[in-house]
Amino acid sequence: MILKFLRLFKIVRVAVRYGLDDIAMSGFDTPRISKLIDTLIFWRDISAPRGERLRMALEELGPIFVKFGQVLSTRRDLLPGDMVDELARLQDRVPPFSSELAIAQIEKSLKAHPDDLFAGFEREPVASASIAQVHFATLKNGKEVAVKVLRPGMKKSIDEDVALMHIAAGLVEKLWADGRRLKAREVVGEFDKYLHDELDLMREAANGSQLRRNFADSELLVVPEMYWDYCSPSVIVMERMHGIPISQLDRLRDAGVDLGKLSRDGVEIFFTQVFRDGFFHADMHPGNILVSVAPATFGRYIALDFGIVGTLNDFDKDYLSQNFLAFFQRDYKRVAEAHIESGWAPKETRVDELESAVRACCEPIFDRPLKDISFGQVLLRLFQTSRRFNVEVQPQLVLLQKTLLNVEGLGRQLDPDLDLWKTAKPHLERWMSEQLGWRGLIQQLKIEMPRYSKLLPQLPRLAHQALTQVVEPKTEQNNELMWRLIAEQRQTNRFLGMLVYVGGGLAAGVLLTLLYLRFAHMIWW
């Protein structure tokens, strides 16, 4: 209890020192309370911009609050731009914990000392963050690996700090005019789940394994292999990757890497993850990306750190693709219709009003060349406009927008002339074709065919059972069986009808093609 009180006292002291109360009081209609506090605490200096003061306060409060700031930096739909931009500068500057603690954690998790598990284990960590740190090692078969070890005592520390955050969030929503709009308790709850997910390193290993499988045959992206025999919730062991950090442009140029191609490949990787797989690496900042210079994989991206991933279902992908295509075709009516059809905008929303708001918000973007247009900013403007019409922005789309901004910034750092729209458009159009065209129909038939192949042989038996029971007194069970038969028959009729149309269309197409070729052949000769 005393430790919790001391921690709370430190949080209050840091908040007062950096004038966080001044930021909060700015939401009140009257400045009297703020002026009274400034008079009482006259010695503090709060002349720095509010975003900078917030960032410095979080850094002083420690790694958990730094993580919280990083999560807040993704919520451009909730916080002002100047604060979000400053929070985006937050980095995990955490000193490594001792090698003895790392060895004890490995021994506890894997039931063996690192010297017994590995042929060699480097005591000095190569990377350290708020949640875990990484050591290099060598397996007994000679393979080089990276060992990620969870920081000891993290769960207790997280639980204590997050509990205080929940209390603070409740006060913010009660006392601050914008507290409810900012959904303070919801944001803290999201952060709580995010942190506890990161505490389970098996989740990260599973995410990395899924991404590796998705890009198994890719010539663009390399993902390290996970060694499951050495993985646990507190320790994971993966293939060691060799490459140049993507932020070191001079080294990449000296190695002969084509930066223009690298920037385009990054965009293709991202949109492939989003629209093909619906599963994307959501923490693609430069610290998590290397570029391979090995002969076999030269110039390919190397992805690291899979603690944060995003998932999209077909509904989300359809929403995004339709909106992006409509935006860049300046079809604002279609953008408005997509919002209402998705159910995210209230049904009573007038299409023309939403269309007008979207046009006023986004038309100025198109005064610039397409290569200068930011996809992330387009999505951000869309979210901001949507909020005025009580549209609930989905968390997975906010995560996607944050990742898209990272990808854009990285791509244009590599190649300032990158035309993101030109690079991304084929992926959007291909996905739309696969979902709405012949490819989509064939794919759906492949998915449904096993179900119908099991159902069709049962129809004669079901029909016989129904007919033999017609003469019996009508009971609830008989009625249920009859309605089931009718429903199955209707579904089968629709399926057979679709097969007739598809088969007839294909046959007609083949016949017309043959006639055309024969006629052309006769004319030619």
Instruction: Consult the annotation and say whether 127 binds a ligand.
Output: yes
CA distance 419 to 402: 19
Q: Catalytic residue, from 77, 265, 283, 316: name it.
A: 283
Distance from CA of residue 145 to its chain's centroid?
27
Instruction: Consult the annotation and say whether 34 binds a ligand.
Output: no
The label of the residue with tokens 């409509």 reads 326
Distance from CA of residue 156 to its chain's centroid?
27
Instruction: Consult the annotation and say whether 321 binds a ligand.
Output: no
Instruction: Consult the annotation and say whether 443 binds a ligand.
Output: no
The label of the residue with tokens 């960032």 reads 55
Closest to 292 (Cα-Cα) out of 234, 346, 221? 221
77 annotated active-site: no
314-328 helix and 420-436 helix, angle to the nearest 10 degrees = 130
Q: Any idea what the Cα angle at residue 45 is, between residues 44 and 50, rounded to 5°?
A: 120
Instruction: Consult the annotation and say whether 386 binds a ligand.
Output: no
Beta strands (DSSP E) in 255-390 are 279-281, 289-291, 301-303, 309-311
List, in order, residues 6 or more apart from 374 with CB less than 8 Å away. 405, 408, 420
CA distance 53 to 377: 25
What sign results for the dihedral spanned by CA atoms 164, 169, 171, 175?
Answer: positive
Instruction: Consult the annotation and say whether 126 binds a ligand.
Output: yes
Instruction: Consult the annotation and say whether 132 binds a ligand.
Output: yes
List, in order, residues 6 or more apart from 253 with CB less than 8 Å away. 259
CA distance 393 to 412: 27
Instruction: Consult the annotation and say whether 130 binds a ligand.
Output: yes
Burial class (CB in 10 A: 0-12, 13-18, 19+), 242: exposed
Distance from CA of residue 458 to its chain's centroid?
43
Q: Are 423 and 324 in contact (CB under 8 A)?
A: no
Instruction: Consult the annotation and say whether 129 binds a ligand.
Output: yes
Q: Are 385 and 357 in contact (CB under 8 A)?
A: yes
Instruction: Consult the annotation and say whether 24 binds a ligand.
Output: no
Q: Both tokens of residue 275?
A: 């629209």
Binding-site sequence positions for ATP: 126-134, 148
Binding-site sequence positions: 126-134, 148
By annotation, the residues acting in catalysis are 283
